[in-house]
Amino acid sequence: MGSAATMAMTVLCFTKSNKLTSTFRTLPRLTCSSLSNSPFKFNISFSPSNPKPKPDPKPEPENDDDGPLMIPWIVRGEDGNFKLSSEPPPSFLKDMAIAKTGTKKSDKIQTTKIKKKTEKETKVHAVAQPQYSKAARRFYNENFKDSGGERLSKVLAASGVASRRSCEELIFEGKVTVNGSVCNTPQTKVDPSKDIIYVNGSRLPKRQPHKVYFALNKPKGYICSSGEKESKSVISLFDDYLSRWDKKHAGVPPPRLFTVGRLDVATTGLLIVTNDGDFAQKLSHPSSNFSKEYIATVDGLVHKRHLMAISEGTTIEGVHCVPDSVELLPNMPNAQRARLRIVVHDGRKHEVRELVKSAGLEIYSLKRVRIGGFRLPPDLGLGKYIELNPTNLKALGGKVNKVDS
């Protein structure tokens, strides 16, 4: 370095009166010396290694006169003019919420619509039937589709061939042919109007008799059997009806009639006769729970203990049967015997007779007067019958379709 240099600095200061003044100050001469034998000498001083820390500047006191810091929002008021508000507008908060979740309402609605559309298309594709050619549908209908016919044994029984059990035996013995082939299965579905059916070499008529329903006032001494060997079957009381059948229904075989349930040979009263097996099954099955009312004429005097004993029931075939009601009817003029009105629903064999017998009484005569909601007409004589109309069948819990007579 050359000789010592002299520097000058001009410091500008602003006074409280904002007047600009200038002052010149001359810095002292600096002398530097080196360790070598250089002719130049420098005098350099360093600050101490551990200088005293300077105290932190005191924080300026906060001025709380104006309250907390407030960010003003310019919003439009109800009067339509702009004003300052301390709260952001609702639209801004809504946009911030949407931006935070990352889902817009329109996108959510669109997603829901697409999902519903996809589910609907899937359901339609699952339900829609496959399309086949006319030839394929015709082949299926002729060879595989159920024609809606009835069981072979049922058709034979309805045509008057024999009882259903006897018809099943004929089928098992190979005495029935369908369309030229021997059929050994009673459950085979057939349609007499389309299929050619032979029984023991005789052609079964194409037309089937319509369903018929009768209410019979059964007399004493007749049994509820449709066998040909029985001389006094209740079915024989319909001989006059069957003899007139051909005149009214030409070409149609007469119906094979049978009784719904049974009354013993000594019991009289209401008995249903029909050729409708389904109706008979429904009416006679225990699950139908139809009540049956009987009038029992007994020998001897009836006391309260007898009524109590009958109402407590008795065991029949291992089942304890209890009647629905027991009532002692008023004495009739010129009647020497007491009458009991007994209502049951189990339908066990000789149920009413066993109930009266268990009470220590003896039945002189027994008559059934009601089944379900149908009561035996009082003017219907013994051995007479009437054909039931739809109202009567409804009272019995039955329902039939309209047929051509």
150-203 homologous superfamily: RNA-binding S4 domain (3.10.290.10)
Mean pLDDT on 21-29:
49
Q: Helical H runs in 173-286? A: 239-243, 245-248, 277-284
Q: What is the pLDDT of residue 401?
A: 45
Rounded CA-CA distance 275/273 in Å is: 7
Average pLDDT over residues 50-78: 59
- Res 98 pLDDT > 90: no
Q: Does residue 166 register a pLDDT over 50?
A: yes
Is the pLDDT assigned to residue 59 strictly greater than 60?
no
Q: What is the pLDDT of residues 293-327, one digit of tens each?
A: 999 999 989 999 999 999 999 988 888 989 999 99
Rounded to the nearest integer, the mean pLDDT of the chain is 76
For residue 286, the 8-state DSSP code is G
Catalytic residues: 264
> CATH assignment of 291-371, given 3.40.50.720, 3.40.630.10, 3.30.70.1560, 1.25.40.10?
3.30.70.1560
Residue 339, pLDDT > 90, answer: yes
Which part of the chain has CATH 3.30.70.1560? Answer: 291-371
CA atoms of 151 and 190, how far apart (whole Å)? 6
Distances (CA, A) of 35 to 45, 282, 317: 15, 134, 140
Q: Give per-residue burial for 36-62: e unless 16+ CB within 10 Å, then b.
A: eeeeeeeeeeeeeeeeeeeeeeeeeee
CA distance 361 to 300: 8
Looking at the DSSP assignment, which residues form a beta bridge with residue 272?
215, 260
CATH class of the domain whose range is 209-285+379-405:
alpha beta
26: number of CA atoms within 13 Å, CB side? 4
Tell me, yes or no, if the pTM score tops 0.85.
Answer: no
Q: Where do you find CATH 3.30.70.580 in the chain?
A: 209-285+379-405
